[in-house]
Amino acid sequence: EAEVAQSPRYKITEKSQAVAFWCDPISGHATLYWYRQILGQGPELLVQFQDESVVDDSQLPKDRFSAERLKGVDSTLKIQPAELGDSAMYLCASSFNAFGLGALERYTYEQYFGPGTRLTVT
Amino acid sequence: GIQVEQSPPDLILQEGANSTLRCNFSDSVNNLQWFHQNPWGQLINLFYIPSGTKQNGRLSATTVATERYSLLYISSSQTTDSGVYFCAVEPSYNTDKLIFGTGTRLQVFP
């Protein structure tokens, strides 16, 4: 069964250091999402890609976070510099979202999540 | 924005018991998903259910979109059912986006 892959599974870093997370979506899924989940809460969207383009990064703290999906397949999320408040689970998800002519028609499908990267900033 | 509330927030059961988890949402939605987050943090898809009723083994779900709620039924619970259950909705005004609920933490004891 196809799965979303993420690495690393766990990361401990000191504040002010740079950290990067990698995600490989299910083959054929054009839409890729990065979420952050703080302990005790539900996941919240950070950034959404459609192929290689950013569709929504309104909740991404752009002063320290960046995300890319250069070839429209796998993606990297980076934090630089990391802060204590960034300690959380970072989840990647993908879905097969189809668009009709002129993107006027949009069909959405369920999202599938990877195992996540648990980040601890010390 | 849309509000997604789940109840109860915590649930403790003995193995074999049945339970009902509820998800209320404050605006119209295109789609709704139920997830189980296991103790290792993995979100596992349970149901993709914008409306109607679906069943998968001991689990079933019902969504009444017109009344803005969904229910997840767990029958004959097992210790492996422990974890956090989330519902997530795709608002009609903001498609492709999932807004997660507050979660229900379930603990099943032998």
Q: Kindly indicate the confidence band of residue A107, based on its pLDDT and cuts at 50, 70 and 90.
A: low
Arithmetic mean of pLDDT, A10-14: 97
Residue A18 lies in a domain: yes
pLDDT score, position A21: 98
Q: Does residue A122 fall inside a structural domain?
A: no
Q: Which of B40, B42, B101 sits opposite A42 (nearest CB)?
A: B101
CATH number at residue B53: 2.60.40.10
Q: Once rounded to an integer, what is the mean pLDDT over residues A83-100? A: 88
Which pLDDT tens digit goes with each residue over A39-63? 999 999 999 999 999 999 999 999 9
Which domain range does residue A91 map to? 5-113
Q: Is the pLDDT of residue A100 over 60?
A: no
Structural domain count of chain A: 1
User: What is the model's pLDDT at position B87?
Assistant: 98
User: How high is the pLDDT of residue A101?
Assistant: 46
The range of the structural domain enclosing residue B34 comes to 4-109
- Residue A119 domain-assigned? no
Q: Cβ of B96 and A116 within 8 Å?
A: no
Q: Please, which pLDDT band fits residue A96 given cuts at 50, 70 and 90?
A: confident
| Residue A16 placed within a domain | yes
Partner residue opposite A108 with nearest CB, options B88, B95, B101: B95
Number of domains in chain B: 1
- For residue A1, pLDDT over 80 is answered with no
Q: Cβ separation of A112 and B31 shorter than 8 Å?
A: no
- List, in order, residues 6 or more apart from A108 with CB less than 8 Å away: A95, A97, B30, B31, B90, B95, B96
Residue A121 lies in a domain: no
Please, is A85 exposed, middle or buried when counting C-beta atoms within 10 Å of its C-beta (0-12, 13-18, 19+)?
exposed
Q: Searching chain A, which residue's CA lies closest to the CA of residue B99?
A: A44
Q: What band does A99 get if pLDDT is binned at 50, 70 and 90?
A: low
Q: Tell me the mean pLDDT per 10 residues along chain B, length 110.
A: 96 97 96 95 95 97 97 97 96 86 96
A79, A19 contact by CB (below 8 A): yes
